[in-house]
Structure 1
Amino acid sequence: MTTTAPDTTARPAPAGGGTAAPVRLATPGGILTLAPAVPDAPTVELLHAWLTHPRSAWWGMLDADADRVRRDLEELAASPYAGARLARLDGVPIGLVETYDPARVLLAGRYAHREGDAGMHLLLAPARTPVPGTSAALMAGVLRLLLDREGARRVVVEPDARNEAVHRLNARAGFTVHGPLELPGKTALLATCTRAQFEASELGPAARLLPDPPPAGEPAHLGRHPMRAAHRHLCCKALAEFAHERLLHPAPLGGDAWEVATADGRVRYRFRARRTALEHWVIDEGSLRRTVDGAAAEPDAQELVAELAPALGIPPALLGTYLEEIASTLASAAYKLVHRTRPAHALARAGFQEVEAAMTEGHPGFVANNGRIGLGVTEHDRWSPEAARPVELVWLAARRPLSRLDTVAGLDEADLVEAELDPAVRARFRARLEGLGLDPADYRWLPVHPHQWEHRVTVTFAPDLARRDLVLLGTSGDAHLAQQSIRTFFNATRPERHYVKTALAVQNMGFLRGLSPRYMRDTPAVNDWVAATVAADPVLAASRFTVLREVAAAGYTGDAYHRAAAAGHGEEGPHTRMLAALWRESPVPRLGPGERPATLASLLHVDAAGGSVAAEHVRASGLASAAWVRRLLDAYLAPVARCLLAHDLVFMPHGENVVLVLEGHVPSRVIMKDIGEEVAVVSDRPLPAGIERIRHVVDAPTAALSVHTDVFDGVLRHLAGILEDQGLLPAPRFWAQAGACLRALLEQDPATAQRYPLLAPRFRHSCLNRLQLRNTLQMVDLADQASSLQYAGELDNPVAGPAGGGPDGAGA
């Protein structure tokens, strides 16, 4: 970064000085905003990630620490001769602009200076999903600012002579090259651009100053640039996952180039990609090109789905619903590009809920993974996990005969309420009922999502409120943070208190996110049995594997919808799942000294610049990459497999259902959650009375899919691809570690080793997107999930063979 030379002569601060006001410019790529780069923590984090990225090597700061970045920013902010601005395109951070007086800084006495010269450096942020035209928009906007607003007569640049990309960009903007110039640390190529040269250039007409602020209420994230980036990323994900599920069959073009075309050949998608184990596609997102009738066209995720709908098998009547989920997923992705900008290296060191709010992918496998149909733009900014805004839950009182509460053994209603609500809140709730002439003893209390109160309870249950079968009590005062499931909340005021999961009438990933009081009545008993089973297993105890129990479930059943279903006049449907909640243990009280929690999903997070949280943990751990992976697998894969082998017990162990406990940056153990709805017993083994609903008997190969599909395909193939992409561990060596982990587990207990074919050469390819594409309204029957599975042939097992690196043992 530019440093300044001492000088006592007063001169005007150049553009980008620390006190300069933000400037907005219209460009073909979107609205460019240039604002002072203040040396606060978020800005330093972001710039540090950019400057130390391999693509920023020309800046010579690959080894810089955050303190150096901060010092440089502070020096620029204080300098009368230089300054720095952070550039955002439609709200997305895209680069850093440094401006300086070349008569005083860097070039003093080294070139033929003219009065009115302004020096400039541009740093285009590294991007996981590059959007064409971004660098041109930045260049055009900055030149327009300097020449029109800041009064420069000529702009001077001195990039490294070897930096061909910036030379091409300079030429497009009208710069004249004057020749090589020796500067400290580099041979530069001096170039200048006057107003006349800029106006006559390709980029001259491409930017103009905007005097007016945006209209009040305009969503910051629904601009051209973030949506273009979101489309490109989701198109790449769709092509990768649909090819993985064999819905699409990319044609090789030679080398690492591939093509997907519509049946009539009119639309073509070309990209570079590599395939790893489990037919996992890693697409270079910057390589994606779409053509329509031979002409270049912008990638569009909705158009991709519509164009490929016949191959995807979406029922025509449900195509609109799926396209709406795609649109909502795009809107969510655009929001995160604007508002969730913390880089991976910072997230690897951040707190539990900071990381939870920063997740951007929704689900690694599903394409339409952030539907949330039913939330408006203001509500998304209020209730979504990425908004990271504290939420106070609404509490209702429900008449006891018209509601139910079920708890784990040893917990009664009074204990639950006392633990979750402060004495003053309990007194206020009782006073509210007494003030209405009601006896508090006649009611039980349950929390409700504020959106549900506003949009459902006050409308769908209006008669129940009028009868005082339901009574609004108010809020508890505790601040809660929405989790990635959107309807589950972490108590930020009192982290030791339980998670609260609420019903929410929002469509997301093939489900209306309700909760059934009838279905949940057995949930505490199921959790008691699972927790006891896990605790009694010596192998699981040695790995310190535990579960977070769902200790209580409450629901209202006194409405007309339940009465009609009970009388046989209708079926239990969405209306009977709108007023219920459950309480799940928090992981915070279970943490020991030096331990910190993170969701397993965070290991799959890749930031906008391509930085990986998992890679940052590996680098900071002090372990070799293979050793770090083995520690993770011993903590995660081994216990999940043990539960199947020894107890016929399967979970849904995807990334959001697993709390990873780290010691420093090293995985030490995991805690499983979301037990009641997701757990199953796959044999006819004896079960306690009252929890028979979790029995789903299947054959051994199907049961083994709880590891093959849910762990290997659902989590590990993505992590293996990320670590290989980061240059840390080739995928065959990753899978060799997984094979070694399973073999070590099987050797511990030979009596259970052959019960399920975990090391079989192949297993059935169970597909997630096929489920959603088949029925976008309800993917699976929760009462019989196995019967809903969709298959696409078989996959080679990457841990089969003598060395666990594939059927032939390769990669060991």
Structure 2
Amino acid sequence: MRSDITIEPLDLERDLDLLHAWVTHPRSSFWMMQDATVDDVRSEYGDIVASDHHDAWLGRIGGRPTFLVETYDPRRAPGLADLPELIDGDLGMHVLVAPPAGRPVAGLTTDVFDAVMAFCFDDPTVRRVVVEPDVRNHPIRDKNVGVGFTELREIPLPGKTAMLSVCPREDWDAPMVVPAGAAVGRPMTGSLLRSSSSPRGTSGRIETPDHLTPDHLTPELLDRAQRHLVAKALGEFSHERLIAPTDRGEGWWRVETDASSYDFTARVHALEHWVVDAASIVRTRDGEVVAADAQELIAELAPVLGIPDALLPTYLEEIASTLASTAWKVRHRRTPVADLVDAGYQELESAMTEGHPAFVANNGRIGFDLDDYVAYAPETGNTVRLHWLAARRELTRLSLGAGETEQSLHDAELTDADRSSFEATLRALDLDPADYLYLPVHPWQWTHKLAITFAPDLARRDLVHLGEGSDEHRPQQSIRTFFNASRPERHYVKTALAIQNMGFVRGLSPAYMAVTPAINDWVAETVAADGELQDCGFGILREIAAIGYTGDAFHRLATPSPYRKMIAALWRESPVPRLEEGDQLTTMAALLHRDADGDALVTAWIKASPLAAADWVRSYLRSYLRPLVHCLHRYDLAFMPHGENLLLRLRDHVPVAAFMKDIGEEIAVMGDLPLPAEVERVRGDFPDDVKALAVHTDVFDGVLRFLAAILDEDGVLAGEEFWDLVRETVEAHAADHPELADAAERYDLLRPRFRHSCLNRLQLRNTLQMVDLTDQAESLIFAGTLRNPIARPDGESPHP
């Protein structure tokens, strides 16, 4: 065991700010103090310090504050006092490990746990250590059992159902070394037997798991992940008409390959949307039932999926990574939707478990190792400190949006301490800070790419590594975009990240981003000046600054390559300053989320709201669909409005407004609308039957078919009624805007059928770059047409 761990009495005045940051951090949700103010924390721990049977301790590693310990007498604690299982010599214990600042340290939590147990048993009167973790907290329950705890039974405690667990001295596998200073400041023997007025929700919880232990890769968890992904593959490949299940009657279907047959139950909803029951899947090979296996399914279907032989291993690797991610989420992300109904924005963001709803291989992240996954994947809930580079000004392009200056950007995004430190680093190298621009980079990118691939640039001092920034950031679902957890009102930061994920290497092009702020300014000004969009509460989160370094050898080559996209970043406005009192902010992806037990968050929100299901959906469609239809009809302006690109504002659990984001790369103007010269890049030349796909494919097929099926499957709103509401929304907009009748006729969103544009076919065709961002229309792959679920009934006039 490590010898540099010390444990000392908590000094409330000295440690208050640190303590508040720890207990209110999103990763400390089981500590049940997420909404506590500084005064709340002072009051709570003031009572503990003053108590004669409850103690709080600060743990350090190498002198750095790293963890919090509470010890108490369980027989004097509410909810525990009368339990017959407790005996003389029992000591209650809670542990909270500080959220990691940067890359988590493998094995740290085990070292902390060992030190705390040694600390408890250092008192010879302590016969057993008692903990009561939340029953849903499987990682810590497993860790407890692993070090010698026995789980006795479930007990009700304030705010949770707990698993009462005890570790007798003789069952504890004591480390060889007692931590240095373990007894510093320790009261006399017996004085640790103290109680808490409210047992902590994280009793025995270690907030950071051992990252090198793949506890999610068990036969049981992987089988669950396999069934989930095989069900999704069968459903989405059927939707895209890559396979055609045979109807076996009574809800049963069959898909046959050269090697296996797959029998399963499924319901087919509008837009040929298949909901396959994962539990029903029976795979047969050579007359025997064998386990469902997503990689084997892909390999068996490879001839009909059209995957090039050379790229099939890459796709199978993305499938394996997706399976691993799913198993990790099943193991560690079991938050029930009931706990998410009133959750905060970042808690919701990290609770998402599915990834893109249509793509089968949607969590590739090829390039991350196991530690990287735990450190940087959004679902793990870890915070990250970005690294910063000084990039030589003459070799770097900084583009700024309206109202922004280099000074205002740096003043807002860097603390005074950061700027002083950066300037000192440069001056220590005899470099003038005025010759450099500051550029944030992903920690993984610095370690794995920049420090190696761009070693010459660093040696020339064209790039200078400045270290970590002070702010804690949380990765978003897009994985390379970060929310500022330390200062939520500050901008998101989007960084280049050279991992392979869902058909792309996630780089950022300095050349392509040069006009990103100008594009965002134009879109934001257009939206802000439009009365209809303002009435709908539709807003734009501008990308207000972009920076990219181009002084490397790769930019001097004639041929473009991913290496030109490795050192760049942009800043996007935070939605937090624009929220109103009572607003709940959520990614729209949350509307498609089901928890580990299959319960849908959207269903829970509707039930918690004051509206009937149909009225709830009307409000949602007014916030989401109507603005998109209006932009299309008035400006020929199309967005990429999938769940990850749109934030919803909920009030009383009802969607009332929306923010669009990720503007620079994913908008198109498909008509002759006059544009500023620097915005002209977004104008696209699309065939007429493709233009309407901005709604038909990107909204109906990309988002609403999944939502409609969830509500229908849950018995909340029948599919036919849902699509009637969608049609009602489109027709209401047309009726309110007769001046746009020509556009409504041209786009004809109520046409009987529309072209079936397929996403998985794109990824299967080229798993390395599924579309050319400079000519996305030419990259599309179609599979006939789909019946439009909002098509007008026969005989109706096509126009209002």
When the two structures are superposed, what TM-score results if normalisation uses the length of structure 1?
A: 0.73
1:762 aligned to 2:740?
A: no
Cα pair 1:766 1:791 within 8 Å, conserved: yes
In 2, are the aligned partners of 1:701 and 1:757 still within 8 Å (CA)?
no
Q: In 2, are the aligned partners of 1:394 and 1:475 still within 8 Å (CA)? A: yes
Cross-structure match for 1:231: 226
1:778 aligns with 2:769: yes
Query: Partner of 1:712 in structure 2?
Result: 700
Q: Say whether the 8 Å CA contact 1:90–1:220 is kept in structure 2.
A: no
Candidates 78, 84, 89, aligned match of 1:80 = 84
Q: Could you list the per-position Cα deviations for residues 567-599 of structure 1 after superposition, in whole angstroms to 9, with x for gaps in the alignment?
A: x3xx11110000000000000001011112101
What is the Cα deviation at residue 684 of structure 1? 2.9
Kindly indicate whether residue 507 of structure 2 is the aligned counterpart of residue 503 of structure 1.
no
SS in structure 2 of the partner of residue 691 of structure 1: helix
CA contact (8 A) 1:497 1:586 kept: yes
Q: Distance in 1 between matches of 2:79 and 2:445?
A: 51
1:386-535 counterparts in 2 under 5 A? 386-535=379-528
What's 2:729 paired with? 741
**Is the counterpart of residue 581 in structure 1 residue 569 in structure 2?**
yes
* 1:399 alignment partner AA: R
Establish whether residue 367 from structure 1 lines up as the match of residue 360 from structure 2. Answer: yes
Per-residue Cα deviation, 1:792-812 (whole angstroms, up to 9, x for no partner): 000011111249xxx999xxx
Instruction: Tell me the residue number matched to 2:213.
Output: 218
Q: Is the 8 A contact 1:93 1:338 kept in 2?
A: no
- Any conservation in 1 of the 2:30–2:134 contact (CA below 8 Å)? no
Secondary structure of 1:690's counterpart equals helix
Q: Which residue of 2 aligns with 1:684?
A: 672
Indicate the SS of the match to 2:511. helix
For residue 395 of structure 1, give the secondary structure of its aligned residue in structure 2: strand
Structure 1 distance, partners of 2:332, 2:727, is 40
DSSP-derived class of the 2:747 partner = coil
Contact kept in structure 2, 1:765 and 1:791, CA below 8 Å: yes
In the TM superposition, residue 85 of structure 1 has moved relative to its aligned partner by 9.8
1:641 corresponds in structure 2 to 629
Aligned-partner residue type, residue 252 of structure 2? A
Give 2:331's aligned residue. Answer: 338
Which segments of 5 or more consecutive residues in structure 1 lack a partner in the other structure? 1-39, 45-72, 95-118, 123-148, 150-213
**Structure 2: gaps of 5 or more residues:** 1-27, 33-76, 87-130, 143-151, 156-170, 172-208
> Compared with structure 1, are the counterparts of its residues 692 and 270 closer, same or farther at alpha carbon in structure 2 (3 Å cutoff)?
same
Cα distance, 1:654–1:735 mapped onto 2, change above 3 Å: same
Match of 1:140 in 2: none
Check whether the contact 1:385–1:486 (CA below 8 A) recurs between aligned residues.
yes
Q: Report the secondary structure of 1:607's partner residue.
A: coil
Alignment of 1:560 with 2:553, yes or no, is yes
Matched, 1:347 2:340: yes
Residues 88 and 306 of structure 1: CA distance in aligned 2, closer, same or farther (over 3 Å): farther
Quote the residue 1:699 is aligned against.
687
Aligned partner of residue 350 in structure 1, secondary structure: coil
The alpha-carbon deviation at position 79 of structure 1 amounts to 3.0
Partner Cα separation in structure 1 for residue 563 and residue 686 of structure 2: 32
1:311 shift after superposition: 1.5
Q: Is the 8 A contact 1:90 1:225 kept in 2?
A: no
Tell me what 1:116 maps to. Answer: none
Mapped to 1, the partners of 2:248 and 2:367 lie a distance apart of 43
Shift of 1:659: 0.5
How far apart, CA to CA, are the structure 2 residues paired with 1:93 and 1:612? 26
Whole-Å separation in 2 of the counterparts to 1:120 and 1:327: 37
Q: What one-letter code is carried by the residue in structure 2 that aligns with 1:796?
A: R
Equivalent residue letter for 2:254: E
- In the TM superposition, what whole-angstrom CA distance separates every residue of 1:195-236 from its partner, at most 9, and x where no partner exists? xxxxxxxxxxxxxxxxxxx99932121122211110000000
Note the C-alpha offset of 1:410. 2.1
- Deviation per CA, 1:469-493: give whole Å up to 9, x if none: 0011122210000001110000000
What pairs up with 1:31-180 in 2 under 5 angstroms?
79-80=83-84
Once the two structures are TM-superposed, the CA of residue 43 in structure 1 deviates from its matched residue by 11
User: Following TM superposition, by how much is the alpha carbon of 1:313 offset from its aligned partner in structure 2, in angstroms?
Assistant: 1.1
TM-superposition CA deviations, 1:549-584 (whole Å, max 9, x none)? 0000001000000012xxx3xx11110000000000
Please point out which of 647, 652, 657 is paired with 1:664. 652
User: Which residue of structure 2 lines up, in the alignment, with residue 104 of structure 1?
Assistant: none
Name 2:114's counterpart in structure 1: none
What is the identity, as a one-letter code, of the residue corresponding to 2:244? H
1:306-348 CA-to-partner distances (Å, cap 9, x unmatched) read 1111111111111101000000001111111111111111112
Deviation at 1:685, TM superposition (A): 2.4
Distance in 2 of aligned mates of 1:445 and 1:525: 21
1:76 Cα deviation (Å)?
A: 8.3
* Partner SS, residue 615 of structure 1: helix
Matching residue's letter, 1:80 = P
3-state SS, counterpart of residue 473 of structure 1:
strand
Letter in 2 for 1:615: T
Sort the Cα spacing of 1:377 and 1:86 in 2 relative to 1 into closer, same or farther, 3 A: same
State the shift of 1:747 in Å.
0.8
- Pairing partner for 1:538 from 531, 535, 538: 531
> CA 1:273–1:554 in structure 2 vs 1: closer, same or farther (change >3 Å)?
same
Residue of structure 1 in register with 2:202 after alignment:
none
Deviations 1:589-645 (A, max 9, x none): 010111121010011000110111100110000211111011100100000111111
- Matched residue SS, 1:794: strand
* Secondary structure in structure 1 of the residue aligned to 2:692: helix
Quick one: distance in 2 between partners of 1:552 and 1:121?
53
Q: Aligned equivalents of 1:528 and 1:559: distance in 2?
A: 30
2:349/2:476 contact within 8 Å kept? yes
- Specify the code of the residue in structure 1 equivalent to 2:371: T
For 2:133 and 2:493, locate their aligned partners in 1 and report how far apart those are by CA, in whole Å.
Answer: 43
Tell me the secondary structure at the aligned position of residue 286 of structure 1: helix
- Confirm or deny: 8 A CA contact 1:42 1:342 kept in the other structure: no
1:791 is aligned to: 782
Q: Which residue of 1 aligns with 2:714?
A: 726
Once residues 246 and 277 of structure 2 are traced to their aligned partners in structure 1, the CA distance between those partners, rounded to angstroms, is 16
Q: Distance in 1 between matches of 2:335 and 2:623?
A: 27
CA contact (8 A) 1:600 1:658 kept: yes
CA RMSD of aligned residues (A): 2.8
- d(CA) in 2 for partners of 1:478 and 1:92? 28
CA contact (8 A) 2:133 2:141 kept: no
Please tell me whether the aligned partners of residues 138 and 332 of structure 2 are also in contact (alpha carbons under 8 angstroms): no
Instruction: Classify 1:767/1:76 alpha carbon distance in 2 versus 1 (closer, same or farther; 3 Å).
Output: farther
Quote the offset at 1:701 in angstroms. Answer: 2.4
| C-alpha contact 1:487 1:501 (8 A) present in aligned 2 | yes
Whether the aligned pair in 1 keeps the contact of 2:538 and 2:659 (CA below 8 Å) is yes
Q: How does 1:250-399 map to 2 (within 5 A)?
A: 250-262=245-257, 264=258, 266-399=259-392
CA distance in 1, matches of 2:659, 2:137: 41
Secondary structure in 2 matching 1:780: coil
CA contact (8 A) 1:92 1:337 kept: no
Query: C-alpha distance in 1, partners of 2:474/2:482?
Result: 5
Q: 1:524 to 1:92 in 2, by over 3 A?
A: same
Matched AA of 1:727: G
Q: 1:624 aligns with which of 595, 606, 612?
A: 612
Instruction: Tell which deviates more after alignment, 367-376 or 620-629.
Output: 620-629
Q: Which residue of 1 aligns with 2:200?
A: none
- For residues 664 and 365 of structure 1, the distance between their equivalents in structure 2, rounded to whole angstroms, comes to 30
Count how many residue pairs are aligned between Structure 1 and Structure 2.
621
- The letter of the residue matching 2:441 is V
Identity in percent: 56
Give, in whole Å, the separation in 2 of the partners of 1:297 and 1:358. Answer: 32
Q: Which residue, 570, 588, 596 being the options, matches 1:600?
A: 588
| Cα deviation digits, residues 4-35 of structure 1 (max 9, x gap) | xxxxxxxxxxxxxxxxxxxxxxxxxxxxxxxx
What letter matches 2:84 in structure 1? P
